[in-house]
Amino acid sequence: MTTAVNNRAYCPSCQEPCDPSADTCPSCGWRFNRTVGRPGPSIVRPAVRPKIQCEVDLATTVDRTGSSERFQTGIPRTYEMIVSQVRAKARSVKCWLQSHGDLDEGQKPIIHTDGGTPDQAVKDIKKISYGGGGDPPEHHLDAVESLLKCVPWTADPSRARGAIIAFMTADTKPARSGISAAALGREINKKGILLYLVCEPTATLQELASGAEGLVFQISNNPDPSEMQKIAAQLAASIVATVASGATVPMTVPA
C-alpha cells in the first residue's frame, strides 16, 4: 500500500510522491497492496528501505534506424521506468547509453552517455533521432558486442553488477566478427553481466538471450510497469547473491 505523511502519499519502494488511489507507482512501477476495507494510504510511513550496498554498471544500446521510429515514444519511457527502479535499489548507478544504426550505410554506434548519472542518461535517450538505414534486418549483434567491449565494467563482482539493456526492432544480421548470437550470449554470461532485450522477439534474438540467461520483453509504446520491475528485481537478487557468496553467475528471479 501507499504511505502518507502530511496528507501526501509516497511509494514504499522508491519513496516518490504518488496518487494514493493508484494501483502502481508511476515512478518505479511498484504494485501497491491494499488492506481490504481500508482503501487509501496508511497513516504511518515505514522506514525507508536501505539500498543494497553495491553499484550497478548499466549499459544500454538503442536501435536508432527507421525500424525503431514507431517506438520512439516507448523507448525512453521504458528506459526511464527501468532506471528509476534500479536506482531505488542500488547504492549508485553509472550509465552508458549507445545508439546503433546500419553499418552497411556507415552508421556506426554513438555513445551518448559515457559513465554518467541516470538523470543524464534519461535526458540523452530522449534526444536520440530515429531514421535512415537500409531495410531490416539490423546490426543488433554488432551493437551488443560493441557495448560489451567498450564499457569499462567494474572487475570486482562484490562491488558492482553489470547489466546490458538492448532496445531493438526487427531481426538481426550476423555479427561482423563472426560470433554467433548464442556464443555472444554465453560471453556476456561468462563475464557475470545480466542481459535484457526489449525487442520484437525473433529466433536469433532468443538465442542471444538464452545464451546469456537473460530476459526478453516485448518492445512497446506502453510498457507494463510490472514487467519492467522484473529487471530491477533480478539485478537486486543478483547483487545480494554476489555480495553474500562472491559468485559471478546471475540469479534467475521466478516469474
Q: Over the stretch 25-76, which tens digit does the pLDDT of each residue have?
A: 766 566 666 544 444 444 334 444 556 667 899 999 999 999 999 999 999 9
Q: How many CB atoms lie within 10 A of CB 136?
A: 16
> Is the pLDDT assigned to residue 113 strictly greater than 70?
yes
Nearest one of 207, 218, 213, 211 to 194, comparing CA atoms: 213
Q: Over the stretch 29-40, which tens digit does the pLDDT of each residue have?
A: 666 665 444 444
The pTM of the full predicted model, rounded to 2 decimals, is 0.76
Residue-range domains of the chain with CATH: 1-49 (no CATH), 52-245 (3.40.50.410)
Q: Over the stretch 74-96, which tens digit does the pLDDT of each residue have?
A: 999 999 999 988 888 888 999 99
Rounded to 10 degrees, the C-alpha dihedral 138/201/151/73 comes to 80
Could you give the percent of the chain with pLDDT greater than 70?
75
DSSP lists the bridge partners of residue 24 as 31
pLDDT at residue 132, as a whole number: 80
pLDDT at residue 52, as a whole number: 64
Greater confidence (245 vs 223) lies with: 223
pLDDT at residue 185, as a whole number: 98
Nearest one of 51, 129, 142 to 102, comparing CA atoms: 142
Q: Helix, strand, coil % (nearest 5) of the chain?
A: 35, 25, 40
Task: Please answer whether residues 56 and 235 qualify as being in contact, where contact means their C-beta atoms are separated by less than 8 angstroms.
Answer: yes
